Amino acid sequence: MSLAIVGGPGTGKTSVLLERYREAVARDGAGRALLLAPTPFALDAMRRRLGEAAGTTFGELAADLTGARIVDDIAAEALFERAAEPLLSLDWPEIVDTSVDVEVSGLRMPSRFLASAFRLVRKLRESAISPETFLQTSQVGATNFYGHTPNLAHSDLLMYTKEAHRGSLAVDAKELQRQFRHEISLAKILAKLYRSYVDLQEREGVMTGRDAIVEAIAAIEARPGLRATVRERWTSVFVDEAQELNLGELGLLQAIRGETLEGVTLAGDPNGATGTFRGARPDRVFALASERFECAVRHRSRQTADPGGTHLRLYRARDQRAEAAFVADHVADLIRNGTAPDEIAVVFRSVRHVRAYEDALLARDVPAIAVGDANVFEDPRALDAIALLWNVVDPFRHDYLLRTLAGPAVALSDATLATLCGEPPDAQTLLFEEDDASPQTRAKRWDPRRDLRLGWNVIRGEADPSLSETARARVERFRRLREGWVDASTRLALGDLARLVWGEGLAPRGAPPSAAARAQAAILRRLLARIDRFAERMPNATMRDFLVDAEARAQSEFESCEETSEEGFVRLISIEAARGSEFDHVIVPNAKPGAFPRWYVPDSFVYSPNLGTVAKDNVGDATEARTAKFSYYVYRTKARERYNDEERRAFNYALARARKTVLVTAWDRPTRGLTAPEFLQELRAARPLGSEDLTPG
């Protein structure tokens, strides 16, 4: 028997699931009951409720079953770029013998092409679609579409397509044949790139969690002994947030417990998935349950604390600064009235660009920290710390050296920096070039950056006579500190070296009890955790190796901050990181198209099991920017509408994180809501019971 525990937000689905899990542990033992979640955030939320570190994610489970060495998406993306090197250098035999045309969508911009291709490969892996299946379905889809082309002049299709792209539908047989050839070439290139990436993974012995899931399914299906062992190992499986499961995760569940999911309990909201564009298939998941338990009573977002109070507040500001100030004042008022910071969440669709709101909170001495898809390596506080480490490793990275010298720790003026960048008054050429004391930079002796004077003047002191007394004292102090750090780098572990350098050379942001100082300390703890994990993964790595890796991660869209253990902080949290969490008070700022909801911006190419590969951009001798098939695909699948529906589900999920009150804000004038919905305006127009509009006028 399999069971689905379903219901809307706040109806107690997770509580029922965990109660059944506790009963299974008491009956069969902890080792026989398996607790699963699709994301680390959802798993952390369950662990907080259980009060113990139980359960695992699907990727971790697959790694345990296969013994694979797991890497994250950033390392996998670098591996994918290595697999693509023969393509970019045009060394593939298919390209040399011209059996494949390289004039395909997106390839004129290699970095954009590889980013789109990697995102596609991630989705294919999550859906357990192999390179061979992808190519076959792409060829069939192309043949069906171009061999039986639908009516591209249909009035509904023309009316649905934007005026700027209607010309893409005015194509003749010759143009369709040309687009067909380019699409087949694109599918072949993507399939081979996909296969090359998988083969390189196997040779390197590394894979991501989603890759491990595919390998675990294959291993269980191919080895009856392993299948019997796995099914004997776990007699019951419990899965929270099941609406976010993709086909790969569902396949792993079926490999473990059989096609009918015998002994599996699923908990989730079938109508609340926010990851369908990433591959979530709630329809397939919940259809497999033989029994269904409905949670109908909503326990959250009720005015239980203050029945006469205002549950929902709305506000629109003139600009983002005014909005951030209003949100920060609202949070500060809540804390002054006795709410703990941990019970307040500022929920965004993404926390990649929320510094304006964080700065406004810190300015009011409210401790705040971003959780979710925030990139710690882009944070200015982290960059100050990273700059100091680069100063130790390579003083000729002048971008980082200037950051340190101009920053609050050394605080040199622009005039002093200009002097340090110039020739000293008594400069002379050394008979023998003196090498830098740092052993990590000796191999770069002839780097042309060493011809610039800033690094030499700082480490040698040749420009000191030209500096003011105050500036000279500051430079000399930094020089002495750096010499000690360079000496320590030869004997300290990476994490210990970072602690020493930051303890002596990093300027605190505010007094120790202040919110700014606490937030800076939290960022440094995140950075230290990454250094320690890097050193554990690569025991022989140097600090330079970590810093190079950090630079790559700063440019990646896959970096995230999953730590949720910081106490006493207001969370600036993304929807994905808020999975399974609840707070007394929730604020949803920036509820405007482009932020929440995000714009629907399709990749250079998409994949449909029925239509195959669909290229967005036309290439070659095209007269229109869009392909006819892409315009038809958007119309047939209603991709933009489905995307906006998913964004609406995410917005509703954010509102449902609150136990007591919700504040929704936005800034600037509202749009007409034609391309993307205006959530704040919809709430203002609906005027829900218990709501209050605080917008001036």
pLDDT digits (tens, 9 = 90+) for 361-407: 999 999 999 999 999 999 999 999 999 999 999 999 999 999 999 99
- Tokens 């700059």 belong to which residue? 387
CB-CB contact of 566 with 522 (8 Å): yes
Amino acid at 576: E
Of 403-412, 437-446, 670-679, give the lowest mean pLDDT range.
437-446
Amino acid at 364: R
| The most confident of 43-52, 437-446, 492-501, by mean pLDDT | 492-501
Of 51-60, 107-116, 177-186, 208-217, give the lowest mean pLDDT range.
107-116
**How far is it, in rounded angstroms, from Cα 34 to Cα 658?**
29
Between the alpha carbon of residue 694 and those of residues 14, 331, 683, 691, 697, the distances in Å are 35, 15, 13, 10, 9
Is 99 a residue whose pLDDT tops 70?
no
Angle in degrees, CA 683, 685, 690, rounded to 5: 55
Q: Of all residues in the chain, what percent carry a pLDDT higher than 90?
A: 63
Nearest to 323 by CA among 588, 656, 117, 99: 588
The confidence score (pLDDT) of residue 596 equals 94
- Tokens 């007699």 belong to which residue? 235
Average pLDDT over residues 70-80: 90
Please indicate whether residue 104 or residue 79 has the higher confidence score (pLDDT): 79
The confidence score (pLDDT) of residue 649 equals 94
Longest dimension (CA), the chain: 87
Is 496 a residue whose pLDDT tops 90?
yes
Helix extents (H) in 555-602: none
- Tokens 């490793």 belong to which residue? 393
Q: What's the token pair of residue 254?
A: 């079926």
Angle in degrees, CA 237, 242, 246, rounded to 5: 105
Average pLDDT over residues 656-666: 94
Q: How many CA atoms does the CB half-sphere of 591 hold within 13 Å?
A: 29
Backbone angles phi, psi at 190, to 5 degrees: -65, -40
Three-class DSSP category at 264: strand
Three-class DSSP category at 79: helix
Average pLDDT over residues 24-36: 91
How does 445-477 read in b/e, with b if 16+ C-beta sit within 10 Å?
A: eeeeebeebbbbbbbeebbbebbeeebbebbee
**How far is it, in rounded angstroms, from Cα 529 to Cα 259?**
40
Is 584 a residue whose pLDDT tops 70?
yes
User: Positive or negative CA dihedral for 230, 232, 238, 243?
Assistant: positive
The confidence score (pLDDT) of residue 475 equals 95
Q: Parallel, antiparallel, or unpaired for β 605-608 and 612-615?
A: antiparallel
CB-CB contact of 345 with 573 (8 Å): yes
247-259 confidence digits (pLDDT tens): 999 999 999 999 9
Average pLDDT over residues 289-301: 80
Number of other CB atoms surrounding residue 605 within 10 Å? 24
**How far is it, in rounded angstroms, from Cα 686 to Cα 312?**
12
Nearest to 409 by CA among 465, 338, 475, 340: 475
Q: What's the token pair of residue 442?
A: 């000796």
Q: What's the token pair of residue 149?
A: 């082309």
Reported as a pLDDT band with limits 50, 70 and 90, residue 442 is: very low
Three-class DSSP category at 82: helix
Reported as a pLDDT band with limits 50, 70 and 90, residue 604 is: confident
Average pLDDT over residues 350-366: 95
The confidence score (pLDDT) of residue 102 equals 66
Of 246-250, 445-449, 664-668, 690-694, give the lowest mean pLDDT range.
445-449
3-state helix, strand, coil in the chain (%, to 5): 55, 10, 35
**How far is it, in rounded angstroms, from Cα 520 to Cα 166?**
52
Partnered with residue 571 across adjacent β-strands are 345, 369
- Tokens 């699963």 belong to which residue? 36
Mean pLDDT of all residues belonging to the chain: 88
Average pLDDT over residues 279-303: 81
Domains and their CATH numbers in the chain: 3-70+208-295 (3.40.50.300), 73-204 (no CATH), 312-374+564-601+640-693 (3.40.50.300), 377-554 (1.10.486.10)
Helices 110-126 & 247-257 angle (0-180, nearest 10): 30
**How far is it, in rounded angstroms, from Cα 84 to Cα 80?**
6
The confidence score (pLDDT) of residue 450 equals 54
Backbone angles phi, psi at 139, to 5 degrees: -65, -40
How does 646-661 read in b/e, with b if 16+ C-beta sit within 10 Å?
A: bbebbbbbbbbbbbbb
Is 307 a residue whose pLDDT tops 60?
no
Average pLDDT over residues 212-236: 90
**How far is it, in rounded angstroms, from Cα 410 to Cα 402?**
10
**How far is it, in rounded angstroms, from Cα 386 to Cα 380?**
10
Three-class DSSP category at 467: coil
**How far is it, in rounded angstroms, from Cα 581 to Cα 48?**
9
Is 563 a residue whose pLDDT tops 80?
no
**How far is it, in rounded angstroms, from Cα 201 to Cα 73?**
13
Backbone angles phi, psi at 346, to 5 degrees: -105, 105
Reported as a pLDDT band with limits 50, 70 and 90, residue 453 is: confident
The confidence score (pLDDT) of residue 609 equals 87
Any idea of the CA torsion for 499, 501, 505, 510, to the nearest 10 degrees? -20
Is 689 a residue whose pLDDT tops 90?
no
For residue 137, the surrounding DSSP H or E stretch is helix 131-147
The confidence score (pLDDT) of residue 48 equals 87
CB-CB contact of 623 with 677 (8 Å): no
Is 430 a residue whose pLDDT tops 70?
no
The set of residues, in sequence order, having a beta carbon less than 8 Å from that of 479 and lying 6+ positions away, is 458, 459, 461
N-terminal to C-terminal alpha carbon distance within the chain:
58
Three-class DSSP category at 381: helix
Average pLDDT over residues 427-451: 50
Partnered with residue 347 across adjacent β-strands are 573
